[in-house]
């Protein structure tokens, strides 16, 4: 084999990359198709319905049928829209959704002594992911930010009011929750010591079940990530961007035919990918729990899929159970709860790590240092939480006051406000 | 009352530089008022007009008549400042079918078929108000059993209507499963209606002179089964919604209304009771035999959307209580008045007597004559005071029929409830008023 590109890249590598990309693409499409079916079926069951059951066995082909139907629908572009951006937006939404999947190790043998790679007959050593990017996590953040552009531009370019509101909501939501997402990710990076997804999985695989980042980082970043991730996905209860009852269809109100299908596809693809990211970062990805390794790399795939299913079910469960948050409540949750908590937790984790390394040296033993750090940081967090709570209460009261007569009087206000209300009439 | 063009804008220019809450209130009140007073034509023109004396940050959004959460074909014109609703105006008439006018061409016996289609979520109440009004004109006494059957059916209808509210309220706030659960329970009640009246909706069951048919065999068991099934399901609602933090956040303090405002706008029903005014026609102006049953009138404290939700949930429980008492007290006897002028002869007599056949034919073609006069009878429907006013010229058809629809009157509070709330609050407010557009437009 001749090296016809730069050093180290053989034609075999390129073929391999191509094959992996195709396989990943197919997996993506099939997974999305199944996810749509899964969601509809589970939601139906939770709502005393049967769900799709006619098209194919158990209604499995329902998504395919819907897709074909949408292909043959008329593609309407509103006359007041910005044609170019309007047509571009679905791709901007779809492509990042697929790209994120490239960094996820979906299989592989991570049992002790293995690093999840296999050696192919051609001599290449490869992991079960399209690209093992050294800065994999940053790639994920970049892609999830890019995906918002699709939604935002779709809303802007539609030339219609409800999509506009939807896109404004999308922008605000993305900015707010990206921060919480990034901060909870920082905790993972801190304990794993790497940005590469396969590296993170390997770091967790070494510790077995209790080596999962979910446990090692102390659960808080995990929960923050789930909440922020759900918001990032625009899934219920954070689906303000396409809140049907308020904005009709939100950003995709004006879309029809295959362009609508692309948004739909991107949304479900993102759901699958977000579930996969959570599994990778917090649940050990394809590595087995309790040392239950089997069948080499295929066992890794089974483990990965089982863990993924857990989160996909959780997303569907959220949708079936929770009412939607209001716009300001969403912002409050993001800025006043998730970001401070993940920031504080990152500092605690960092402090503990420094103390464990013996870099503080206040006391003779590192354990005493750790306890000291914990005590100090908990005290600071308590003070911070009190201040924050006060700030939240104050702002809530101010907001109610600015709404004047429409506010609900608190118990203390009841007596005082009577005269004011009389004056108002 | 007419207003000058500049009136709504003048006060706000004075207050626009001051950002204090009080100044905000002062300039908003007259504006809100102005929107309420504006004619629909004038308000419709607003859509194409630049907004005078206001920064151009606001936009007009037409919510409806085809919008998922406007309960049919209500149209709302919203002036939005970002996500915030400033002024708004409900515009009705998209479901106008001229039922009141149609009523003038239908005999008194055909009347219920017509009015039952107004409030399609609680059809029996309109039928009953119509029947009560006609009976008032004739001075007809109806038998005990008919009275209690009417009460039973109406309370069951109140349950089904409030269950429908639970469903749509959940739906409007994004709790999609709640919609299915509400419909599921309502369906059980409708199944009972079908057994009794033959139809799930639009029953034409309560007619002047009594009811159309006696309760079928085994009705008591079906009612008991319902009474057993519903309370645990309502507790599930409590778990799913009442105690749910997001649910409370979404509803508490949203769409608040003071009792003064409510009374000034002649609001009735749960919307009025949510503001703390204990007004329930069943208790305050008893009709049928409501003075013989024991029930509580549930009132709220804050007048917000959560109170209205909680009141309706509590009213389902009260209705279950009433139905329990009706089961005990249901008397035996005839289900329709013995007055041969109003009541067609029994089926068996038609085979025997030619006169009975002619009489039967006459009643169903010509109808019965009602003495000259006018009468108004009101009932407490799930949405408030539902009254039917009939003027009779002595013929067999009403000279004029007018329905006081609670949904129509309650709709006026929407601009008050929605002002300065977020768009999501506007949806919650509409939902909490629970308007049925068929009854609004008639």
On whether residue A279 sits in a domain, the answer given is yes
pLDDT in tens, A316-344: 998 888 888 888 888 888 888 888 888 88
On whether residue B380 sits in a domain, the answer given is yes
Same domain, A139 and A265: yes
Same domain, A225 and A356: no
Task: Provide the pLDDT confidence category of residue B45 given band limits of 50, 70 and 90.
Answer: low
Closest approach of B168 to chain A, Cα-based (Å) = 11
Asked if residues A81 and A157 have their Cβ atoms less than 8 Å apart, the reply is yes
Instruction: Decide if B52 touches A, using CB distance below 8 A.
Output: no
pLDDT higher than threshold 80 for residue B36: no
Q: What percent of chain A clears pLDDT 70, i.e. is strictly above it?
A: 90
pLDDT higher than threshold 80 for residue A126: no
pLDDT higher than threshold 50 for residue B291: yes
Instruction: Decide if B250 touches A, using CB distance below 8 A.
Output: yes
- Picking from B64, B83, B184, B430 by the largest number of A CB atoms within 10 A of its own CB, the best residue to mutate is B83
Same domain, A137 and A277: yes
Percentages of chain A per state (helix, strand, coil), in multiples of 5: 70, 0, 25
Q: Which two tokens stand for residue B1?
A: 């009352």
Is B420–A403 a contact, with Cβ atoms under 8 angstroms apart?
A: yes
Backbone angles phi, psi at A168, to 5 degrees: -65, -45
Q: d(Cα B258, Cα B260) in Å, to the nearest integer?
A: 5
Cα distances (angstroms) measured from residue A4 to each of A121, A182, B141:
21, 40, 104
Is A324–B28 a contact, with Cβ atoms under 8 angstroms apart?
A: no
What is the DSSP secondary-structure string of A279-324?
A: HHHHS-TTPPGGG---TTHHHHHHHHHHHHHHHHHHHHHHHHHPPP
The set of long-range contacts for B15-23, using a CB threshold of 8 Å and a minimum separation of 24, is B21/A401, B21/A402, B21/A404, B22/A404
pLDDT higher than threshold 70 for residue B66: yes
On whether residue A32 sits in a domain, the answer given is no
Q: d(Cα A289, Cα A395) in Å, to the nearest integer?
A: 46
Count CB-CB contacts under 10 A for residue A270.
Answer: 27
Q: Is this complex scored with an ipTM above 0.95?
A: no
Instruction: Decide if B243 touches A, using CB distance below 8 A.
Output: no
Q: What is the pLDDT of residue B26?
A: 38
Using CA atoms of A312, A313, A315, A321 in order, give the dihedral in degrees to the nearest 10.
170
* Buried/exposed code over A179-209 (b: 16+ C-beta within 10 A; e: otherwise): bbbbbbbbbbbbbbebbbbbbbbbbbbeebe
Asked if residues A44 and A51 have their Cβ atoms less than 8 Å apart, the reply is yes
Same domain, A318 and A380: no
Q: What integer is the mean pLDDT of B3-23? A: 40
Domain count across chain B: 1
On whether residue B86 sits in a domain, the answer given is no
pLDDT in tens, B204-222: 899 888 888 888 888 889 9
Asked if residues B422 and A169 have their Cβ atoms less than 8 Å apart, the reply is no
pLDDT higher than threshold 70 for residue B43: no
H helices of A158-219, in order, are 161-192, 197-206, 213-216
What is the DSSP secondary-structure string of B119-182?
A: STTSHHHHHHHHHHHHHHHHT----HHHHHHHHHHHHHHHHHHHHHHHHHHHHHTT-HHHHHHH
Nearest chain B residue (CA) to A398: B21
Same domain, A145 and A226: yes
Same domain, A290 and A379: no
CA-based nearest residue to A102, from A66, A61, A132, A58 = A132
Highest mean pLDDT among A297-311, B141-155, B246-260: B141-155
Same domain, A154 and A254: yes
On whether residue A407 sits in a domain, the answer given is no
Distance from the first to the final alpha carbon of chain A: 88
On whether residue A283 sits in a domain, the answer given is yes
Average pLDDT, chain A: 80
List of chain A residues whose C-beta atoms are within 8 Å of the C-beta of residue B417: 406
pLDDT in tens, B165-193: 999 998 888 888 888 899 989 999 999 99
Chain-centre distance for alpha carbon B372? 29
Domain count across chain A: 2
Half-sphere exposure of B417 (CA within 13 A, CB side): 39
Range in A289-293, B117-121, B237-241 with the lowest mean pLDDT? A289-293
On whether residue A371 sits in a domain, the answer given is yes
Q: Indicate whether this model's pTM tops 0.95.
A: no
Q: What is the pLDDT of residue B42?
A: 60
CA-based nearest residue to B289, from B331, B338, B318, B320 = B331
Smallest Cβ–Cβ distance between A323 and the set B69, B175, B422 belongs to B175
Q: What is the pLDDT of residue A399?
A: 65
Task: Provide the pLDDT confidence category of residue A368 given band limits of 50, 70 and 90.
Answer: confident
B216 backbone φψ class: left, alpha, beta (φ>0; ψ -120 to 50): beta
- A391/B219: higher pLDDT: B219
Print the domain residue range for B290.
99-338+367-441
Q: Which two tokens stand for residue B173?
A: 């706030």
Q: What is the pLDDT of residue B157?
A: 92
Q: d(Cα B394, Cα B377) in Å, to the nearest integer?
A: 18
Same domain, A264 and A364: no
On whether residue B347 sits in a domain, the answer given is no
Task: Provide the pLDDT confidence category of residue A420 given band limits of 50, 70 and 90.
Answer: very low
Q: What is the pLDDT of residue B389?
A: 92
Q: What is the pLDDT of residue A408?
A: 43
Print the domain residue range for A231.
77-117+130-325
User: Which residues, including other chains, have CB under 8 Å from residue A353's CB and lie 6 or more apart?
Assistant: A190, A191
């Amino acid at each position: 084999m001749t090296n016809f590109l730069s050093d180290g890249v053989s034609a075999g590598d390129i073929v391999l990359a191509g094959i992996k990309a195709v396989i990943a693409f197919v997996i993506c499409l099939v997974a999305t198709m199944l996810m749509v079916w899964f969601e509809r079926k589970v939601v139906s069951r939770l709502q005393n319905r049967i769900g799709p059951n006619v098209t194919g066995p158990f209604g499995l082909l329902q998504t395919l049928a819907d897709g074909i139907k949408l292909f043959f629908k008329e593609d309407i572009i509103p006359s007041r829209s910005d044609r170019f951006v309007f047509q571009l937006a679905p791709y901007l939404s779809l492509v990042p959704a697929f790209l994120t999947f490239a960094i996820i190790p979906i299989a592989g043998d991570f049992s002790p002594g293995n690093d999840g790679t296999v050696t192919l007959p051609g001599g290449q050593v490869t992991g079960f992911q399209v690209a093992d990017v050294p800065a994999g996590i940053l790639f994920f953040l970049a892609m999830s930010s890019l995906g918002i552009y699709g939604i935002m531009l779709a809303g802007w370019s539609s030339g219609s009011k409800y999509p506009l509101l939807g896109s404004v909501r999308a922008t605000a939501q993305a900015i707010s929750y990206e921060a919480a997402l990034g901060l909870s990710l920082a905790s993972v990076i801190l304990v794993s010591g790497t940005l590469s997804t396969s590296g993170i999985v390997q770091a967790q695989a070494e510790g077995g079940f209790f080596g999962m980042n979910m446990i090692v980082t102390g659960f808080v970043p995990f929960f923050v990530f789930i909440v922020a991730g759900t918001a990032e996905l625009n899934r219920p209860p954070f689906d303000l961007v396409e809140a049907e009852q308020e904005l009709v269809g939100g950003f995709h109100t004006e879309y029809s035919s295959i362009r609508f299908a692309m948004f739909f596809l991107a949304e479900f693809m993102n759901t699958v990918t977000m579930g996969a990211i959570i599994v990778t970062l917090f649940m050990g990805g394809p590595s087995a729990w309790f040392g239950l390794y089997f069948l080499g790399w295929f066992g890794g795939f089974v483990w990965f899929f089982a863990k993924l299913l857990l989160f996909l079910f959780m997303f569907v469960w959220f949708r079936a159970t929770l009412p939607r948050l209001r716009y300001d409540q969403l912002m409050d949750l993001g800025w006043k709860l998730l970001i401070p908590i993940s920031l504080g937790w990152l500092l605690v984790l960092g402090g503990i790590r420094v103390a464990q390394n013996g870099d503080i040296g206040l006391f003779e033993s590192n354990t005493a240092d750790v306890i000291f750090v914990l005590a100090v940081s908990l005290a600071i967090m308590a003070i911070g939480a009190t201040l924050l709570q006060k700030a939240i209460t104050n702002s809530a009261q101010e907001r109610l006051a600015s709404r004047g007569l429409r506010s609900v009087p608190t118990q203390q206000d009841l007596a005082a406000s009577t005269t004011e209300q009389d004056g108002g009439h | 009352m007419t207003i000058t063009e500049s009136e709504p804008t003048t006060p706000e220019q004075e207050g626009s530089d001051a950002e204090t809450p009080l100044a905000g209130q002062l300039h908003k009140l007259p504006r809100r008022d102005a929107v309420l007073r504006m004619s629909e034509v004038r308000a419709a023109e607003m859509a194409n007009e630049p907004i005078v004396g206001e920064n151009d940050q606001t936009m007009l959004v037409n919510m409806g008549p085809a919008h998922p959460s406007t309960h049919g074909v209500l149209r709302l014109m919203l002036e939005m400042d970002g996500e915030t609703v400033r002024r708004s105006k409900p515009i009705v008439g998209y479901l106008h079918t001229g039922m009141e006018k149609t009523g003038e061409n239908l005999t008194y016996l055909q009347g219920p078929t017509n009015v039952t289609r107004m409030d399609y979520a609680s059809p029996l109440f309109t039928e009953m108000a119509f029947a009560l009004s006609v009976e008032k004109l004739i001075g007809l006494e109806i038998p005990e059993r008919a009275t209690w059957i009417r009460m039973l059916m109406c309370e069951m209808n109140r349950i089904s209507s409030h269950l429908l509210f639970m469903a749509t309220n959940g739906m409007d706030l994004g709790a999609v499963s709640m919609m299915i659960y509400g419909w599921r329970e309502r369906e059980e009640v409708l199944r009972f209606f079908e057994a009794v009246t033959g139809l799930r909706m639009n029953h034409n069951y309560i007619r002047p002179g009594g009811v159309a048919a006696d309760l079928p065999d085994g009705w008591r068991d079906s009612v008991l089964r319902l009474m057993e099934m519903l309370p645990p399901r309502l507790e599930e609602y409590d778990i799913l919604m009442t105690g749910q933090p997001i649910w409370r956040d979404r509803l508490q303090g949203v769409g608040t209304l003071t009792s003064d405002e409510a009374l000034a706008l002649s609001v009735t029903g749960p919307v009025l009771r949510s503001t703390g005014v204990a007004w329930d026609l069943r208790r305050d102006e008893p009709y049928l035999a409501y003075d013989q049953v024991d029930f509580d009138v549930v009132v709220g404290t804050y007048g917000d959307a959560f109170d209205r939700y909680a009141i309706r949930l509590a009213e389902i429980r009260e209705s279950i209580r009433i139905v329990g008492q009706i089961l005990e007290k249901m008397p035996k006897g005839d289900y329709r008045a013995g007055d041969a002028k109003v009541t067609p002869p029994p089926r068996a007599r038609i085979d025997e007597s030619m006169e009975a056949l002619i009489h039967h034919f006459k009643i169903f073609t010509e109808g019965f004559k009602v003495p000259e006069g006018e009468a108004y009878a009101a009932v407490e429907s799930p949405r408030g005071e539902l009254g039917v006013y009939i003027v009779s010229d002595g013929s067999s058809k009403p000279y004029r029929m007018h329905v006081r629809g609670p949904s129509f009157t309650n709709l006026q509070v929407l601009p008050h409830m929605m002002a300065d709330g977020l768009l999501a609050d506007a949806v919650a407010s509409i939902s909490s008023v629970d308007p049925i557009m068929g009854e609004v437009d008639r």
